[in-house]
A and B are shown apart, each in its own frame.
Chain A
Amino acid sequence: MNTPEPLASTVVIKTVNLGRTLMDTEQQPLTILQGINLQINAGDSVAILGSSGAGKSTLLGLLAGLDQASTGEIYLNQQPLTQLNEEQRAQVRQKVGFVFQSFQLLGHLTALDNVMLPLELAGAKDYRKKAQNWLERVGLGHRIKHYPNQLSGGEQQRVAIARAFAGEPVVLFADEPTGNLDQKTGQTIIDLLFKLNRDQGTTLVLVTHDLELAQRCQQRYLLQDQQLILQTPAAVNPVNAEATP
């Protein structure tokens, strides 16, 4: 399975028997993910579907190296995340973009400052111009001086997306990137995502309830009963998926 492969199909993400178990408030173990085997090639676009509470965000966080797995292995960009320490994982993440479900903008910084942050941390030169450019591309060119609490939910989401784009990642993880957006704005963002995927070969891993977005991805997975199930290219309705196991 792990034979050297041509560049186009280089594996960027691979998990082996990945599992995540948490302790709940009564110190009872709570298994969210179990035995997940997944492989995503460079340049792929992948959608993860599943009902609320299925563990989608948890899985995304694990794949991006933001959380620690309980069992199994994760390889991101050929790096064995589970064997790295926090410091080394951070290093790997420099090539990774992440859009949080809850945005996670820094409230005391303006939209521009928030988007500049990954650029500055990476030591980019014209960080201000680039950040401004990204904000314009998500349609917020006129709100760059505003603070997160002065922006609507959708606007905050777009700032978060711009911040993820700004680092020019190899892999972009997005947790419901269009969840708060209207049809039209959502479409713009989706176009932007796939343009990035096309032009720069950025691998996309998206968690979404948006069928249209899921349709545009090359692969779709359904997360259910702690397991990840590859969906046939046929239409998948995540709402129905909940009802019919």
Chain B
Amino acid sequence: MSRIPNAIDSGRAQRPSSWWLATRLLLREWRSGDLNLLASALILAVMTVAITAFVADRLQKGMEQQAAQLMGGDLVIQSPRALPEDWLEDAKNQNLQAAPQLEFASMLASDNGFQLAAVKAISQGYPLKGELLIGQSADVLGQSSQGQIPLSGEVWVDLRLLSALGVTLGDEVEIGQKLFTVTRLIQQEPDRGGGFMSFNPRAMINLADVPATGVVQPGSRVTWRLMLAGALVDIERYKSSIKPRLESAHRLLDVREDRPSVGSALDRAQRYLQLTSIGAVILSGVAVALAAARFARRRVDSIAVLSGFGHSPRFVTGIYSRLLLSLGLVTALIGASLGYLLQSIAVSLFQSSLPVSLPPAGWQPWLLAMGTGQLLLLGFARAPLQQLQQVSPMRILRRDLVPASASSLSTYGLALFALVALVYWYSQDWRLTLWLSLGLIVVVVVSSLLTLGLLKLLHPLESKLPVKPRLALRSLYSHRKTALPQVLAFALVLLVVALVSIVRNDLLDSWQQQLPITAPNHFALNIQLHEQQAFEQALDQAEIKHSPLYPIVRARLTLINHQTALEQVPEKAREDNALQRELNLTWRSALPDDNKVVAGQWWPEDYQASPNALTPLSIEAALAERLGLSLGDHLVFELAGQKIEGVVHNLRTVNWDNFQPNFYVITPPKVLESMPQTLLASFYLAPEQRPQLAQLVRQFPSVSLLDIGQILQQVRQILQQVTLAIEVMLMFTLFCGVVLLLAAVKNSLDERLREGALYRTLGASGRMIRQIQGLEFVCLGLLSGVLAVLGSEITAFLLYRQLFDLDYSLSFTHWLLLPLISVAIITTAGLWGTKEVLKRPPLQVLRAR
């Protein structure tokens, strides 16, 4: 029966097979109840991870869905030329919805005027994602297009175009060589393609009408898009099938690329979700380690007996390996199922406050949760149990032969390995893994040294103290070997909770700052120099909050280091928009808010251009990277026969998320002032100020007004959803943290209960015992709290810089709050857990230990 090689079996045929014995011992272990704590820790761990993973997965999908609406599809292929016909066919064959569209700029003409507009030619199926709101007039809220698109010969226009052309619905307008009838007013376009930087008014026609207009010729500047939507697997399959066929001019857009303002929010949110999951894993690791250590402590004697009866250490280990294996499987199944159940309940409770309904979770969270359980078991439970192997049979006779202490390198080594593996698995990000592991190691080492050092330092003072603090301190000091892991566990739990809440606050703050309610929702472009004062006055009179008027010089980058720009840039940048069109240049003496110089230096505020010197240029960093520009490069811009020569003086990052006017190229003042220029302003228009806008449009017909309110609205909605996600995760982490803290305290009580009972037999009053133990708990809590603050500051410092791109600042409330909370929880839980000492006869307490 036994095919497991076993040292003791050989030559002792009369013994029951080791397999049978092992199984019986295993069953006995399960029945004894001592495994309960370890099993619950594992179930809790797997459950926590499962919930986080399920919720994160669903929220992630939900957010991507939302963002896909902004983009118009789950996947978009963009190209300056028509895309091959079969791509569309392929997509349809692969169960995807697909709709091609074409966008170009064209002059529209009516009987009353001309206006340059962005024309979007759409096909059946538009919009794949989101809603197109159309209506008959500006005053009534439009209705969903319900899949309707302009019929042949129809054009739908937005309000700006309507007023610029001086037409009403039913009038005719000309696009190229074809006449169209204006039939609908566009009120909300889910995917204002090309980003909101396409400032022109909007028009929509049927894709089939494009040839008849004769506007689109080979070489015209147009953007073709193939919008795709469908199930994730189909999208992914299509994506990989299409990738090898992409040319340099083609761009695959996914949610993150297309919308930087949402993209970075999603990115950070995702990182946050990762962080909380990792936090949950660390919490679980702590729980499992504590429970396993306790189990090992309780098993030392029986193992000694087993080996005293002649069972080899290998046999003993064999039993415990099997024990771990079965434990791992059972708890993983239970934990993951519980997690699935709980998250469905939680999500359905929150569903009503979510802007979109969350798609169901995929299978990955199951794998993640159950795999995590196994890794936790390996990393955090294996080592303590492994030590049982080293228990000597002498232990029966002399109880001082303790197995190798839990602080051995292998314990921490294994735990660290498991942790690093898990963090990497969760984040797929070496940087995060590195920084987090580094942070944790630093925290653990520093905390250990501090704790031990402090206790050593205080020990000699003991005899000078009154009796209660003296006994408390002595107990702490003499328990230091067991107290240290406890303090570390407490501190780690608090650290994770603190970190998760600090990051949450700062993330939300940064989003709130990014898009305050009164963030500018309109841009005014093409303000002529001579209109400057009048325009500003008009805004002020209408009590519209506005930005300063920024000068814009529009020029084309022609030469880089004395060669044609097209030849100088890397090959894949040849089709870059920045080379195809004019760039916006402006001048500034000071670095704009929200911009950061990443290379070179900003010029001094009082910079004076000397007549012969080359103009210093400040270039947006991402543009510079795309075009391969670096400090010291010589650039020439051209406009209307004039030249601007300059040298790249610094590179600067721009915050595109804040919807403020941003510029690719900035020069010092005075250099550009003589060039042809227009002005740009952004302003916030409250809903009730709408009539003033119409007034403005009439007063300054040549000024282009761009309404980005809808986009802001959509972005806000996404942020709101992300915020909610973060709140849910935070609450959950907090909950787990508190539960775990309580469990950790409880786990440390065995010794204290015995101690308390003994104090009791010696006639100590309840008050005395409470005060001594209370003092101990206060010290433990304080120490853990301070270490947690220290640790969270260190880790937050590393994470902020490296991952969230947030500015880090010390938070003094945390220094106060965390130790207080820690003391409160640990002391309360500790005293509560030891209260039986006061109520039960000491002999019963002692017997129960």
Contacts and interface: CB of A to CB of B under 8 A. Distances in A.
Interface of A: 61, 64-68, 86-87, 89-96, 98, 104, 106, 108-109, 113, 117-118, 120-123, 128, 147, 149-150, 163, 167
A121 B759 contact: yes
A156 B108 CA distance: 103
B841 A121 contact: no
Most chain A CB neighbours (cut-off 10 Å) among B467, B759, B762: B762
B763 A90 contact: yes
A66 B467 contact: no
A66, A89, A113 pick with most chain B CB within 10 angstroms:
A66
B752 to A, nearest CB: 11
Contacts of A92: 763
Given A66-B842, A120-B470, A87 B478 contact: no
A87 B766 contact: yes
A90 B765 contact: yes
Nearest to A120: B467
B761 A66 contact: yes
Contact of B766 (A64, A90, A163): A90
In this complex, the interface size class of chain B, counting residues with CB under 8 Å from chain A, is 20 to 34
Contacts of B471: 117, 120-121
Contacts of A93: 760-763
A67 B843 contact: yes
Given A61-B843, A149-B400, A109 B759 contact: no
Contact of B467 (A64, A98, A104, A123): A123
Contacts of A91: 763, 765
Contacts of B242: none
Contact of A108 (B399, B479, B762, B841): B479
Contacts, number: 80
B209 interface: no
Interface in B808-849: 838-844, 846
A68 B841 contact: yes
Contacts of A90: 760, 763-766
B287 to A, nearest CB: 25
Q: Is the interface of B mostly helix, strand, loop or mixed?
A: helix
Nearest to B764: A121
A117 B472 CA distance: 12
B25 interface: no
A91 B844 CA distance: 18
Contacts of B762: 93, 117-118, 121, 163, 167
Contact of B763 (A96, A113, A147): A96
Nearest to B402: A149
Nearest to B480: A108
Interface string B380-409: 000000000000000000111010000000
Contact of B846 (A104, A109, A128): A104
26 contacts: A61-B843, A64-B761, A65-B841, A66-B841, A66-B842, A66-B843, A67-B844, A68-B844, A86-B840, A87-B766, A87-B838, A90-B760, A90-B764, A93-B762, A93-B763, A95-B763, A108-B475, A109-B474, A109-B478, A113-B478, A120-B467, A121-B471, A121-B762, A121-B768, A149-B400, A167-B762
B400 A150 contact: yes
A28 B432 CA distance: 59
A116 to B, nearest CB: 9
B663 to A, nearest CB: 69
Nearest to B751: A108
A139 to B, nearest CB: 21
Contacts of A106: 754-755, 758
Contact of A118 (B751, B754, B763, B843): B763
Contacts of A121: 467, 471, 759, 762-764, 768
A89 B475 CA distance: 25
Contacts of B758: 104, 106, 117
Contacts of A66: 761, 841-843
Contacts of B474: 109, 113
Given A118-B762, A118-B763, A121-B768, 10 more contacts: A66-B761, A66-B841, A68-B841, A86-B760, A93-B761, A93-B762, A93-B763, A106-B758, A121-B471, A123-B467
**Interface pairs A-B: 4 shortest CB-CB:** A149-B400, A94-B763, A108-B478, A93-B763
B150 to A, nearest CB: 83
A122 B841 CA distance: 20
Contacts of B768: 121
B472 to A, nearest CB: 12
Contacts of A89: 841
A86 B838 contact: yes
Nearest to B398: A149
A98 B760 CA distance: 12
Nearest to B482: A108
Nearest to A118: B762
Contacts of A163: 762
Contacts of B765: 87, 90-91
